[in-house]
Structure 1
Amino acid sequence: MVKHLIHTLNKAFDHRVRLGVMAVLMANDLVSFNDLKEALDLTDGNLASHVAALEKAGYVTVSKQFVGKKPNTTYTASTEGKQAFQEHLNALEKLLKGES
């Protein structure tokens, strides 16, 4: 039954920012903080808090280093994150098609 499909959606991707972060990371192997912020038109704090939630869930890997004297933070979708996001997309597709 279609009504049960709603329970297969992943709550980690409920917010549009987290959905956007994962979509960008699925399309790119590695994305810098500034590129992700610009792509999604977000403030520093907004992006940082949503990425932290995805990192805590194990869906995003954060890498911090210095380039010269400037901090450089990059993000990648973890294997678990890619799988979870694909399952979320599959559930959305089934919901849209009215499948059970």
Structure 2
Amino acid sequence: MTDDAPFPTNGLNDTVHQRHRLGILTIASESDRVEVSYLREALELTAGNLSRHLAVLADADLVAIERGYHGNRAKTWIRITPAGEAALDAEVAALRELLDRHG
């Protein structure tokens, strides 16, 4: 093939592409904010594993972590940042391009 365009997998972001982080960003993009306990259950992660993935995403400014209370209970929520939305959109676009080439 003589196409000069980069291969679609070159557009994948290693921080976003990891399956649990992709799941976190996808779920977070579907609402204003999401409770961490919901993510843990939905993605079938341990608290420690989820915490590590959230730290990676927060360090990359792809999610913001909010701590507070709901009644007397301490809660933690995350929300996707504008940079996170852009990274998720780019990841989905690269995956669509790859599927188009394959299909």
Q: Same fold (TM over 0.5)?
A: yes
- RMSD between aligned alpha carbons? 1.7
CA distance in 2, matches of 1:70, 1:78: 25
**Structure 1 segments unaligned to the other structure (5+ residues):** none
Give the match for residue 74 of structure 1.
Answer: 77
Q: Deviations over 1:30-89 (max 9, x none)?
A: 101111111111110011000110000000010011334432100000011001110110
2:47 aligned with 1:49: no
Q: Which residue of 2 aligns with 1:5?
A: 8
Give 2:89's aligned residue.
86
Larger Rg: 2
Structure 2: which 5+ residue stretches go unaligned? none
**Residue type matched to 1:75 in 2?**
I
- What is the one-letter code of the residue matched to 1:26? S
Give the TM-score, by structure 1 length: 0.89
State the identity as a percent.
30
Offset at residue 96 of structure 1 (A): 1.1
Taking structure 2 as the reference length, the TM-score comes to: 0.87
Q: 1:23 aligned to 2:26?
A: yes
Runs of 4+ off more than 6 Å: none
Matched-pair contact (CA < 8 Å) for 2:68–2:75:
yes
For 2:51 and 2:36, how far apart are their aligned partners in 1? 9
